[in-house]
């Protein structure tokens, strides 16, 4: 059974970054989002995504180290959100 949070994040990524030739199911759970040339994402995309994630999930991604870890992959992002929701330090 697919993870609903991961599915939601993939849709959010495609929508926020206007990835016209990418379907949510094309994004692997564990592939790096920004170090991969597959999607051509850059620092502006990262900023847009962080703003949207903070708004959608009520999370705060403040330091560059924290954002790098949170945005490492869709799975990393889901883990960051779940840790925040449970009150654990991310």
Least Cα distance to 85 among 65, 56, 48 occurs for 56
CATH superfamily of 4-85: ACP-like (1.10.1200.10)
- Is this prediction's pTM over 0.95? no
- Residue 11 sits at the vertex; the CA angle it makes with 33 and 59, to the nearest 5 degrees, is 70
- Only one residue has tokens 């962080």, namely 50
40-75 pLDDT per residue, tens: 788 899 889 999 999 999 988 877 777 777 888 999
Averaged confidence pLDDT in the chain = 87
User: What tokens were used for 64?
Assistant: 């560059």
pLDDT value, residue 53 = 93
47-64 residues labelled b (16+ CB within 10 A) or e (exposed): eebbeebeeebebebeee
Contact status, residue 19 vs residue 13, Cβ threshold 8 Å? yes
């Amino acid at each position: 059974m697919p993870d609903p949070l991961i599915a939601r994040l993939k849709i959010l990524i495609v929508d926020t970054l206007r990835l016209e030739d990418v379907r949510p199911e094309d994004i692997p759970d564990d592939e790096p989002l920004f170090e991969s040339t597959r999607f051509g994402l850059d620092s502006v995309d990262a900023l847009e995504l962080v703003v949207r994630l903070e708004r959608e999930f009520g999370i705060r991604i403040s330091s560059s180290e924290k954002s790098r870890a949170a945005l490492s992959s869709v799975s990393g992002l889901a883990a960051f959100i779940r840790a925040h929701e449970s009150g654990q330090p991310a």
